[in-house]
Amino acid sequence: MNTAELLVKCLENEGVKYIFGLPGEENLDVLQALRHSSIEFITTRHEQGAAFMADVYGRLTGKAGVCLSTLGPGATNLMTGVADANLDGAPLVAITGQVGTDRMHIESHQYLDLVAMFSPVTKWNVQIVRPSITPEIVRKGFKVAQTEKPGAVHIDLPENIAGMEVEGSPLESGLVEKTYASFQSILKASEIINKAENPLILVGNGAIRAEADAALTHFAEKLNIPVVNTFMGKGVIPYQHSLALWTVGLQQRDYISCGFDHADLIIAIGYDLIEYSPKSWNPEGRLPIIHIAATHAEIDSSYIPAVEVVGEISDSLYEILKRADRQGKPTPYAVHLRQDIVADYSQYAQDDGFPIKPQKLIYDLRQVMGPEDVVISDVGAHKMWIARHYHCDRPNTCLISNGFAAMGIAVPGALAAKLVYPNRHVVAVTGDGGFMMNFQELETALRMKTNFTTIIFNDGGYGLIEWKQHRYFGESAYVHFGNPDFVKLAESMGLKGYRIESTADFVPTLKTALEQDVPTIIDVPVDYSENLRFNQRSGELHCTT
């Protein structure tokens, strides 16, 4: 047995089902070992796509997604997806081939110090320099990647080490015991909640990773506390719940900003500062905060908790609930605020303007998708509208890259989501800019029989940047481009393509696309003048009591 074969045995031991990647000279031994493995290697069309697939797979399953590349440009192509997973708290293990250790000391073809390169974008990364340490490295890599807060790990395997003979076996993973918050922190949190008149719950992705949605909903109901979620916390409380105030995180004033204006206590549950900077909702640091999470709070002058309740989130919520006595106390501002939010959302239900307003497009998408179906958002102007208007009944049914906010994630991410949930509808929502960055992975999707639908918000430019330019300078520059015929592009790849010619076409077209046995593309002309109107409305927003 050589090192590559031992590596693959260790990956099997970790429960790895798929590895996403590209073949290369320096990973030939690993690829050969995979031929005789239970692991399915999925050949992608670009290493960035492979890393995004591993990223989304890890986020949906809680088990590290694995991606593989060769050295040099193959490894640099992985970087964006690896960084995205690391900042979004998705467990991922990236494996790279490398030149032999016998030529690292000289200038060598395609050689880069990959351990140094991956260091800023991973929780841990290492090179295998002796075959015998492979089991320890793999076990530590998966443990680090999957331990809260999850993130990315990188393992570099030189080609001469990969081919060396070795004896060894995988290490047992063992059980990771849950940790529980201290009695003192629970008691103090309960006392603070009891005194609050207008508390507000801010929930983030950590609550989804902890599967704390049932406990959080029960907690909010019993204490009558409204809930807002970050972009990555959608679905922790069903969006139609009377206490759900939907999504916060737009970089300008919105209805939910009024919730923070009225609040006298923020209960942050599974919230990570990278999801939505506290300087945006607590710029003066005046709001008292209770931090409830699996890890301690990050340091920020606008986020200084009065108490940190650190431990298993569901248990912490139930223990606080035993000691809190806010039952029945009203939160009147939340009732009015929810009415305003719902009214704003619903006003687009009958809008038949064309090109389609983003609010209408997303409203109709929500009507078609079931509670368990999955939407993967790319990054661009459409992401802001998805965040604001696409609401969820279940956790992990709308995935948004928000820590690293990497364009190009939607198509490869949707492929991974379809592997995880083959019986659910999966939709990738992307702009024309983001789509063209990784559309080649639709060939991978066709080959893998992962049939999902890609909706392209087509405006012929980088709409989010144009939005920002108009906001700050009153004009735009360098943001417009041409596009191919997306329907013909789909057909040339063996897919099915559709172009929307009127607003009324969208719903029936989407329903048809979702039932096809190949991946589908829907080209939708979108009216992004709504971006500028939102700027105007947010500037005029005044909170009511």
Angle at 91 between CA 289 and CA 228, to 5 degrees: 30
* Distance, C-alpha 148 to centroid of its chain: 16
Is there a domain that residue 543 lies in?
no
DSSP symbols for 254-296: -HHHHHHHH-SEEEEES--GGGS-HHHH-TTS-S-EEEEESSP
Inside any domain, residue 358: yes
**Class of residue 175 by CB neighbours under 10 A (exposed 0-12, middle 13-18, buried 19+):** exposed
296 shares its domain with 434? no
Helix (H) or strand (E) holding 18: strand 18-21
Residues 19 and 103 in one domain: yes
Question: 217 and 211 in contact (C-beta within 8 Å)?
Answer: no
Distance CA 202, CA 257 (A): 12
Q: What is the pLDDT of residues 86-104, one digit of tens each?
A: 999 999 999 999 988 778 7
CA–CA gap between residue 171 and residue 158 (Å, rounded):
22
Which strands form 289-293's sheet, in the order they lie side by side?
Answer: 244-247, 227-229, 199-203, 265-269, 289-293, 307-310
Which three-class secondary structure string do you get for 288-341? CEEEEECCCCCCECCECCCEEEECCHHHHHHHHHHHCCCCCCCCHHHHHHHHHH
In this structure, what token pair is assigned to residue 80? 């964006």
User: Same structural domain for residues 435 and 514?
Assistant: yes
pTM of the model: 0.95
Where a domain ends, among 338, 356, 389? Answer: 338
Burial class (CB in 10 A: 0-12, 13-18, 19+), 542: exposed
269 lies in some domain: yes
Considering the domain architecture, whether residues 108 and 226 belong to the same structural domain is answered as no
* Residue 543: predicted pLDDT: 66
Q: Is residue 377 part of a domain?
A: yes
State whether 497 and 400 are in the same domain: yes
CA atoms of 128 and 425, how far apart (whole Å)? 41
Please list, residue by residue across 108-124, b when 16 or more beta carbons sit within 10 angstroms of its beta carbon and e when fewer do: eebbbebbebbeebbbb
Query: To 10 degrees, what angle do helices 332-346 and 255-262 make?
Result: 170
What is the separation, in whole angstroms, between the first and last Cα of the chain? 71
Q: Is residue 154 part of a domain?
A: yes
Residue 106: what pLDDT? Answer: 66
Residues 519 and 424 in one domain: yes
What's the pLDDT score for residue 537?
Answer: 62
User: Could you tell me which of 394, 450, 446 has the C-alpha nearest to residue 421?
Assistant: 450
Q: Are residues 103 and 63 in the same domain?
A: yes
Alpha-carbon span 431 to 410, nearest angstrom: 10
What is the structure's pLDDT at 480?
94
Distances (CA, A) of 160 to 5, 25, 70, 130, 182: 13, 12, 14, 10, 50
Question: Are residues 64 and 201 both part of a single domain?
Answer: no
CATH number, domain containing residue 270: 3.40.50.1220
> What local confidence, expressed as pLDDT, does residue 328 receive?
63
Q: Which domain holds residue 74?
A: 3-162
Kindly state the tokens that stand for 303.
Answer: 């986020």
Within this chain, do residues 228 and 79 fall inside the same structural domain, yes or no? no
Position 94 scores a pLDDT of 98
Asked, for residue 526, whether it belongs to a domain, the answer is yes
Strand order in the sheet with 374-377: 398-400, 374-377, 426-431, 453-458, 520-525, 496-499
- Residue ranges, the chain, pLDDT below 70: 106, 251-252, 327-330, 535-545
Tokens 């800023």 correspond to 120
User: Any idea which residue has 């360098």 for tokens?
Assistant: 478
Q: Are residues 124 and 43 in the same domain?
A: yes
In a domain, 177, yes or no: no
The CATH number of whichever domain residue 408 belongs to comes to 3.40.50.970
Q: Does 304 share its domain with 391? A: no
Q: Please name the residues in contact with 152: beta carbons below 8 A apart, sequence gap of 6 or more.
A: 82, 83, 85, 86, 90, 91, 92, 93, 94, 121, 122, 123, 145
Tokens in use for 100?
Answer: 């032999």
Give the tokens for residue 488. 């013909």
Residue with tokens 């395997």: 157
User: End of a domain among 338, 369, 404?
Assistant: 338
State how many domains the chain has.
3
Distance CA 115, CA 118 (A): 5
Which of 108, 133, 162 is the C-terminal boundary of a domain?
Answer: 162
User: How do strand 152-158 and strand 124-127 relate by DSSP bridges?
Assistant: parallel
Q: Is residue 217 part of a domain?
A: yes
Q: Are residues 306 and 187 in the same domain?
A: yes
